[in-house]
Amino acid sequence: MSRILKHRLFWPLVILVALLALNLFFTDNFFKIEMKEGHLYGSVIDIVRFGAPLILVSLGMTLVIATSGIDLSVGSVVAIAGALACLRISDLSDQNSVGGVLGAVGLALVLSVVLGAWNGFLVAGIGIQPIIATLILMVAGRGLAQLITDGQITTVNSSPYKLIGGGYWLTLPFGIIVVAVVLALTAFLTRRLALGLLIESVGGNAEASRLAGISARGVLMTVYAFCGLCAGIAGLMISSNVSSADGNNAGLWIELDAILAVVIGGTPLSGGRFSLSGTVLGALIIQTLTTTIYSIGVPPETTLLFKALVVTIVCLIQSPAFRTKVFHRRRRPVTASPAPEEKVRVTA
Partner 1 sequence: MTGITGLLDRRRAIPQKYIPVLVTAGLFVAMFVAGGIRYENFATGQIILNVFIDNAFLLVVAVGMTFVILTGGIDLSVGSVVALATMLSASLLKDGWPAYAVMVLVLVIGAVLGLAMGAIIHYFEIQPFIVTLAGMFLARGLCYTISTESIPIDNPTFTDIAQSRINLGGDLSVSPSAVIAVVVVLIAAYALHYTRLGRNVYATGGSEQSALLMGLPVARTKIAVYTISGFCSALGGLLFAFYSLSGYGLSAVGMELDAIAAVVIGGTLLTGGSGFLFGTVLGVLVLGLIQTIISFEGTLSSWWTKIFIGLLLFVFILLQRVFSGGSRRRSP
Using CB under 8 A as the criterion, which residues of the chain lie in contact with partner 1 when the complex forms?
A: 70, 126-129, 131-133, 135-144, 146-147, 151, 247, 256, 259-260, 263, 269-270, 299, 301-309, 311-312, 315-316, 319-322, 325, 334
H/E element holding 204? helix 195-204
Nearer Cβ to partner 1, position 169 or 322?
Answer: 322
Nearer Cβ to partner 1, position 167 or 268?
Answer: 268
The CA distance from 314 to 282, in Å, is 10
Q: Least distance from C-beta 237 to partner 1, angstroms?
A: 24
Q: Least distance from C-beta 174 to partner 1, angstroms?
A: 31
Q: Least distance from C-beta 242 to partner 1, angstroms?
A: 20
Nearer Cβ to partner 1, position 133 or 227?
Answer: 133
36 in helix, strand or coil? strand
Q: Least distance from C-beta 225 to partner 1, angstroms?
A: 19
| Beta-strand relationship, 153-155 and 39-41 | unpaired
Q: Least distance from C-beta 31 to partner 1, angstroms?
A: 29
**Closest Cα to residue 121, out of 255, 220, 251, 238?**
220
Nearer Cβ to partner 1, position 88 or 142?
Answer: 142
Alpha-carbon distance values, 219 to 17, 60, 271, 276 (Å): 36, 13, 14, 18
Nearer Cβ to partner 1, position 17 or 309?
Answer: 309
118 in helix, strand or coil? helix
* Cα Dmax for the chain: 70
Q: Give the DSSP letter of residue 73.
A: T
